[in-house]
Amino acid sequence: MKEISFIIDGQKVRAQEGQTVLNAADDAGIFIPRLCNHPDLEPFGACRMCTVLINGKPQTACTHPASDGLEIQNDTPQLFNIRKSILDMLFIEGNHYCMFCEKSGFCELQALAYRFGITRPKFPYQYPRRTMDATHPDIFIDHDRCILCARCVRASRDVDHKHVFGFVGRGTAKKLAVSSAKGARDTNVSPDDKALSVCPVGTLMRKHVGYSVPIGKRLFDLMPIGSDIEEHVGKQGKE
């Protein structure tokens, strides 16, 4: 595979042709924040958290192919503020009650808010009226927490090959839906599905296993999200 090189924040990064900017940055130990992207799923470019400036233009790093000679800016005050605003908007558009969420400490939205030092959103809360689907004996779907990242939609379609999840509505009325009007109980979704394990927030949760890891030992309790990438400089490395 052909080796290429490009610049991120003034640093030369070597990558393999065919990689996305996000994957190449990961391999080089540079963390670009992301929410809708997952290593086991096709890139989607929906959440815009991974927006970087590529040759001066805003592009999503998860979908942009890495190529020779790119000049990329990732760590700038402007991009930091844009990403922080995206997080702020996600918090006020849903009902994110961290204090009783079983995903707390493992939630990628919450972890990014920790990393960005958000203590309170700058926009007014919307308090949308959303529902919970607890019809399935082993799974519940809490729409309050959904950020419409489509990870479950893609995993159910491409990995589980079940097509359980999809979106309905548009704009602020857009919501996650399942493939039956009667709710999750009437679908073939299973607690072992990839769709459940890729949810970055507490929307798709397994019943009977709540709060299994004590506070202090959860994934993001001690180290910010992305630390694993920053600490691990892969074989590509940066120069």
Partner 1 sequence: MAKPKLSTVFLGGCFGCHMSLLDIDERIIELVDIVEIYKSPLVDRKVFEERSDIGLIEGGCVTEENVEVLLALRDHCDFLISVGECAIMGDIPSLRNTIPLRECIEEAYLNTVSTWNPTHNIPNDPELPLLLNRVHPCHDIVKIDAAIPGCPPRSDALWEALQALLHNKPVQLPYEILKYD
Site string for partner 1, 43-82 (x = CB under 8 A): ----------------------------------------
Whether residue 82 contacts residue 51, with contact meaning beta carbons closer than 8 Å, is answered with yes
Residue 99 touching partner 1 (CB under 8 A): yes
The Cα 106–Cα 200 span in angstroms is 8
- Which residues inside 125-144 make contact with partner 1, applying CB under 8 A? 125, 127-130
Residue 37 makes CB contacts below 8 A (sequence gap 6+) with 22, 43, 44, 47, 50, 62
The neighbour count for residue 130, using CB atoms within 10 Å, is: 14
Residue 173 touching partner 1 (CB under 8 A): no
Residue 98 touching partner 1 (CB under 8 A): yes
Helix/strand/coil (H/E/C) assignment for every residue in the chain: CCEEEEEECCEEEEEECCCEHHHHHHHCCCCCCCCCCCCCCCCCCCCCCCEEEECCEEEECCCCECCCCCEEECCCHHHHHHHHHHHHHHHHHCCCCHHHCCCCCCCHHHHHHHHCCCCCCCCCCCCCCCCEECCCCCEEEEHHHCCCCCHHHHHHHHHCCCCCEEEECCHHHCEEEECCCCCHHHCCCCCCCHHHHCCCCCCEEECCCCCCCCCCCCCCCCCCCCHHHHHCCCCCCEC
CB of 30: closest distance to partner 1 in angstroms?
A: 19
Whichever of 118 and 148 has its CB closer to partner 1, that residue is: 118
The Cα 85–Cα 89 span in angstroms is 6
| Among 110, 156, 187, 203, contact with partner 1 (rule: CB under 8 A) | 110
Q: Which stretch binds partner 1 (CB under 8 A): 30-38, 58-66, 111-119, 160-168?
A: 111-119
| Among 119, 170, 212, 217, contact with partner 1 (rule: CB under 8 A) | 119
CB of 1: closest distance to partner 1 in angstroms?
A: 38
- Which residues inside 189-218 make contact with partner 1, applying CB under 8 A? 215
CB of 146: closest distance to partner 1 in angstroms?
A: 15
Residue 224 touching partner 1 (CB under 8 A): yes
| Among 51, 60, 74, 104, contact with partner 1 (rule: CB under 8 A) | 104
Residue 94 touching partner 1 (CB under 8 A): no
| Among 94, 105, 202, 226, contact with partner 1 (rule: CB under 8 A) | 105
| Among 42, 97, 174, 231, contact with partner 1 (rule: CB under 8 A) | 97
Total residues at interface with partner 1 (CB under 8 A): 26
**List of residues contacting partner 1 (CB under 8 A):** 95, 97-101, 104-105, 110, 113-114, 117, 119-121, 124-125, 127-130, 215, 221-224
